[in-house]
A and B are shown apart, each in its own frame.
Chain A
Amino acid sequence: MSFSNLEQLYRQVIMDHYKNPRNKGLLETEGYHQVHLKNPTCGDDVVVQVKIEEGRIEDIRHEGTGCSICCSSASVMSQTLIDKTVIEAADIAKNFYEIVQGNEFDEELDMGDAPVYQGVAKFPARVKCATISWKAAEQAINELK
Chain B
Amino acid sequence: MDVNQIRKDFPILKEKMNDRPLIYLDSGATTLKPNLVVEAENYYNTKKTSNVHRGVYQLSNEATELYEGARKKVKSLLNAKSELEIVFTKGATQALNLVAQSYGIHNVKAGDEIIVSELEHHSSFLPWQYIAKVTGATLKYIPLDKTGRITVENAKKVLTSKTKVVAINYVSNVMGYIAPIKEIAALAHEVGAIISVDAAQAVPHMKIDVQDLDCDFLAFSAHKMCGPTGTGVLYGKYELLNKMEPIEFGGEMIDIVGELESTWKDAPYRFEAGTPVISGAIGLGAAIDYLTAIGFDQIANHERELRNYAVEKLEALGGITIFNQDAETGIISFNIDGVHPHDAATIYDTEGICIRAGHHCAQPLMKWLCQPATLRASLYLYNTKEEVDIFIEATQKGKEFFSGVFF
Interface residues of A (CB under 8 A from B): 1-3, 5-7, 9-10, 12, 15, 40-43, 45, 65-70, 123, 125-126, 129
Residue of A at shortest CB range from B18? Answer: A1
Cβ of B407 and Cβ of A15 under 8 Å apart?
Answer: yes
Residues of chain B within 8 A (CB-CB) of A2 are 19, 350
What are the interface flags for B348-374 relative to A under an 8 Å C-beta threshold, 1 for contact and 0 otherwise?
Answer: 011000000111000000100000110
Alpha-carbon gap, A23 to B402, bound state (A): 22
Once A43-B373, A123-B346 are accepted as A-B contacts, the answer to whether A67 and B358 lie under 8 Å apart by CB is no
Q: For B346, what are the chain A residues with a Cβ–Cβ distance below 8 Å? A: 6, 9, 123, 125-126
State whether the Cβ of B347 lies closer than 8 Å to any Cβ in chain A.
Answer: yes
The distance in angstroms between the C-alpha atoms of A140 and B406, with both chains bound, is 37
Q: Of A6, A9, A42, A68, which contacts B358 at CB under 8 A?
A: A42
- Number of B interface residues, CB 8 Å? 22
Residues from chain A with a CB closer than 8 A to the CB of B347 are 6
Closest 5 CB pairs of A and B: A1-B18, A67-B340, A67-B342, A43-B372, A43-B373
In Å, the complex CA distance between A68 and B373 comes to: 14
Docked Cα-Cα span, A66 to B349, in Å, equals 18
Q: Is the pair B340, A1 in contact by a Cβ cutoff of 8 Å?
A: no
- Check A65 against B350 for contact (C-beta < 8 Å): no
A70 to B18, CA, bound (A): 23
Whole-angstrom distance between the alpha carbons of A65 and B340 in the complex?
A: 9
Known interface pairs A15-B404, A42-B357, A42-B373; A129-B350 also in contact (CB < 8 Å): no
Nearest-neighbor residue (CB-CB) of A45 within chain B: B372
What would 10 more interface pairs be, CB under 8 Å, given A42-B357, A43-B359, A45-B372?
A: A1-B349, A6-B350, A9-B346, A10-B401, A67-B341, A69-B342, A69-B343, A70-B342, A125-B346, A126-B346
Are A67 and B407 in touch, CB under 8 angstroms? no
Report the separation of the CA atoms of residues A132 and B291 in the bound assembly, to the nearest whole angstrom: 43
A-B contact pairs, 24 of them (CB 8 A): A1-B18, A1-B19, A2-B19, A6-B350, A10-B343, A10-B401, A12-B407, A40-B359, A42-B357, A42-B358, A42-B359, A43-B366, A43-B372, A43-B373, A45-B372, A65-B372, A66-B340, A66-B372, A67-B341, A67-B342, A67-B343, A68-B402, A123-B349, A126-B346
**Which chain A positions have C-beta within 8 A of B304?**
none
Q: Are B372 and A1 in contact (CB under 8 A)?
A: no
Residues of B within 8 A of A123 (CB): 346, 349
> What's the least CB distance linking A71 to chain B, in Å?
8
Please report the C-alpha to C-alpha distance between residue A126 and residue B341 in the assembled complex, in whole angstroms: 12
* Chain A nearest CB, measured from B401 CB (Å): 7
Whose C-beta in chain B lies nearest to the C-beta of A10?
B401
Contact B340 A68 (CB under 8 A): yes
* Residues of A close to B341: CB separation below 8 A: 67
Instruction: Answer whether residue B162 sits at the interface, using C-beta atoms and an 8 A cutoff.
Output: no
Asked if A3 and B19 sit within 8 Å, CB to CB, the answer is no
Question: For chain B residues 183-241, which have a beta carbon within 8 Å of chain A?
Answer: none
Distance between B365 CB and nearest chain A CB, rounded to angstroms: 13
CA distance A6 to B404 in the complex (A): 13
Kindly state the separation between the CA atoms of A2 and B394 in the bound complex, as whole angstroms.
12
Looking at the assembled complex, report how far the CB atom of B164 sits from the nearest CB atom of chain A, in whole angstroms: 30
Q: Is the CB of B401 within 8 A of A6?
A: yes
Smallest Cβ distance from A133 to chain B, in angstroms? 15
**Residue B397 at the A interface, CB < 8 A?**
yes
- Docked Cα-Cα span, A40 to B361, in Å, equals 10
Closest to A129 in B: B342
Q: What residues of chain B lie closer than 8 Å to A5, measured between beta carbons?
A: 350
- Write out, one digit per residue, whether chain B residues 371-407 have a CB within 8 A of any chain A CB (1) or not (0): 0110000000000000000000000010001101011
A70 to B346, CA, bound (A): 13
Could you say which residues of chain B place their CB within 8 Å of the CB of A45? 372
Which single residue of chain A is at the shortest CB-CB distance from B359? A43
Q: Which residues of A contact B18 (CB under 8 A)?
A: 1
CA distance A9 to B350 in the complex (A): 12
Set of chain B residues within 8 Å of A9, measured between Cβ atoms? 346
Chain A residues within 8 Å of B373, by CB: 42-43
Q: Which residues of A contact B397 (CB under 8 A)?
A: 3
Q: Are B406 and A7 neighbours in the complex by a CB distance under 8 Å?
A: yes
User: What is the CA–CA distance of A125 and B350 in the complex, to the nearest angstrom?
Assistant: 13
Residue on A nearest B342 in the bound complex, by CB: A67
CA distance A9 to B343 in the complex (A): 11
Taking the closest CB of chain A, its distance from the CB of B338, in whole angstroms, is 10
Binary per-residue interface labels of chain B (314-344) against chain A in the complex, 1 for a CB within 8 Å, 0 otherwise: 0000000000000000000000000011110
Kindly state the separation between the CA atoms of A68 and B341 in the bound complex, as whole angstroms: 10
CB B307 to nearest CB in A, in angstroms, measures 25
How many angstroms from the CA of A43 to the CA of B356 in the assembled complex?
Answer: 13
- Nearest-neighbour CB distance to chain B for A117, whole angstroms, equals 14
The CB with the most chain A CB atoms within 10 A, among B340, B341, B347, is that of: B340
Residue of chain B at shortest CB distance from A7: B406
**Chain A residues, CB < 8 A from B342:** 42, 66-67, 69-70, 126, 129
Instruction: Find chain B residues with CB under 8 A from A1 CB.
Output: 18-19, 349-350
Report Cα–Cα, A144/B85, bound state, in Å.
Answer: 59
